[in-house]
Amino acid sequence: MSFGSQKESEGRMTVSSVGHKGQILPELRGADLSGMDLSGMDLSGMDLSGCNFRESVLSGADLSDCNLSGCNFRGTDLSGARMNGSRMRGACLSGADLSHCVLSGADLSDCDLSDAQMHGADLTGIIVTTRKGYVR
pLDDT digits (tens, 9 = 90+) for 47-59: 999 999 999 999 9
34, HSE (Cβ side, Cα atoms, 13 Å): 9
**Number of alpha carbons in the 13 Å side-chain half-sphere of residue 48:** 27
Strand partners, 127: 107
Q: Which domains does the chain have, with CATH numbers?
A: 29-136 (2.160.20.80)
DSSP H helices in the chain: none
Looking at the chain, the whole-number percentage of residues with pLDDT higher than 70 is: 76
> Cα–Cα distance between 112 and 29 in angstroms, integer?
20
Helix (H) or strand (E) holding 6: strand 6-7
Tens-level pLDDT at each residue, the chain (136 residues): 444 433 333 333 444 444 445 555 567 899 999 999 999 999 999 999 999 999 999 999 999 999 999 999 999 999 999 999 999 999 999 999 999 999 999 999 999 999 999 999 999 999 998 765 444 4
| pLDDT at residue 120 in the model | 98
| DSSP output for 92-118 | B-TT-B-TT-B-TT-B-TT-B-TT-B-
- The residues, any chain, with a CB within 8 Å of residue 127's CB and separated by 6 or more, are 105, 106, 107, 108, 109
CB 66 within 8 A of CB 45: yes
Q: What is the pLDDT of residue 11?
A: 38
